[in-house]
Amino acid sequence: MRNLKLVGTAVTRPEAVGSLYMLGGDGEWKLADGIPKDASVQAITPHPTRPDLVFLATRKGLYRSDDGGATWARIDVTDETPQFWSIVVSPHDPDLLIAGTAPVGFYRSTDCGQTWTKCRGEFPERYKISFGGSRTMRVAFHPTDPKLLYAVAEINGLYVSEDGGQSWRAEPAGLSALAAMPHLKNTELTDDDTEGMFDAHAVSTTTARPDSIFYICRMGIFESQDRGKSFRDLDVKRFAPFNYSRECRFVYGEPRKMYACFSISSRSEAGALYGSDDLGETWHRADAAVTPRSTMMGFGAHVSDPDGLVTVTRHGQVFYTTDGCASWSERQLPADAGDAFCGAIL
């Protein structure tokens, strides 16, 4: 582990910098070379088997670095102008990439990002929302079946692909059943109280339970074992004082171990990283040594070292550990940085 931290920010106020910040051994934040200051970085994806290769999803396109973050170049994906909000590398084929967009859509590459094909599917908006179209927040592969993939959209729920990502369909049945339950009704952006369950932020899978989907949304974390037709609530609020969830990831080499970040709401004065060693049955505070002062928007886990994690809060606090959460360090982003949305550690 080189202990290089990467944090993506978005243009969330006038004159804010929405780009990629990098923190190396000198302890100083530097803006990445080649990323516009108004790109708004939404996802950082280190390649799992090629240590120097890193991808970025930004609202102004996809970017890649072939030298461990030293330099970056924009990837030519399409003549259209979608925003990119997610990108993932297949665990089955290191050359297969899927990128998710806003409005909801998908692009697929079979040559590690050299060329791209737009995927098939119809993605109507479920809700009329003030910030425009919903966005594809995360994509996850089934850990043993290369043809099966899942994706989630904010605020449009769950999608499934059964042909390796070439085509996609919505799967609302299980979420609709949950949204009908009184304690899971919630609305912030519309007048429809089913909204909360469809406000998805992440999706994860693990070899420890290959057929499970872990669905992360405004209302908590939910597990499905039938491709989204039904879900069970992991009820994380039994262990945490708040359950608004932004991210959930499994740890390299430990397929039963997962982390998730919880907060009060999308804009709040608190957040925390929680860990589970038993596939989400029980949870414990993983970052008790630090005090996040705003919503924890995301985190990154090292792709080959289970001890490396970096978390980011909306207002620019960055926390990182290289010893499996035994100790943490904190570095605040520069004052002109926009809201932080994602992080990675190389």
> In whole angstroms, what is the distance from residue 11 CA to residue 228 CA?
34
**Token pair for 24:** 């190396």
Residues 6+ apart with CB under 8 A from 150: 139, 140, 142, 158, 159, 160, 161, 203, 205, 213, 227, 228
Chain-centroid distance, C-alpha 289: 24
Burial code (b: 16+ CB inside 10 Å, e: under 16) for 233-266 equals: bbebeebbebbbbbbbbbbbeebbbbbbbbbeeb
Note the pLDDT of residue 25: 82
**Every domain of the chain and the residues it spans:** 45-302
pTM of this structure: 0.96
Residues 6+ apart with CB under 8 A from 182: none
**Token pair for 234:** 């992991």
**Token pair for 34:** 């080649």
Asked if the bond preceding 44 is cis, omega within 30° of 0, the reply is no
Q: Chunked in runs of 10, what are the mean pLDDT values of the chain (346 residues)?
A: 94 95 92 96 97 97 97 96 97 98 97 98 90 91 98 96 98 97 94 95 98 98 98 97 96 97 96 98 97 97 97 98 97 97 97
Helix, strand and coil percent figures for the chain, each rounded to 5: 5, 40, 55
* 3-state class (DSSP) for residue 217: strand
276 forms beta bridges with 258
Owner of token pair 């990098």: 22
pLDDT tens, 223-260? 999 999 999 999 999 999 999 999 999 999 999 999 99
Contact predicate 296/312, CB 8 Å = yes
Percent of the chain surpassing pLDDT 90: 95
Residues 6+ apart with CB under 8 A from 297: 246, 247, 261, 312, 313, 314, 339, 340, 341, 342
Owner of token pair 């995301």: 298
> In whole angstroms, what is the distance from residue 247 CA to residue 261 CA?
6
Note the pLDDT of residue 261: 97
**Token pair for 151:** 């994706």
Contact predicate 65/28, CB 8 Å = no
**Residue among 138, 137, 170 at smallest CA distance from 154:** 137
φ/ψ bin of 132: left (φ > 0), alpha (ψ from -120 to 50), beta (otherwise): left
> In whole angstroms, what is the distance from residue 185 CA to residue 193 CA?
5
| Distance spanning both ends of the chain, measured CA to CA | 6
Tell me which DSSP letter residue 167 carries: B
Note the pLDDT of residue 170: 97
Task: Give me the CATH topology for the region 45-302.
Answer: Methylamine Dehydrogenase; Chain H (2.130.10)
pLDDT tens, 7-59? 999 999 999 999 999 998 888 999 999 999 999 999 999 999 999 999 999 99
Note the pLDDT of residue 278: 98
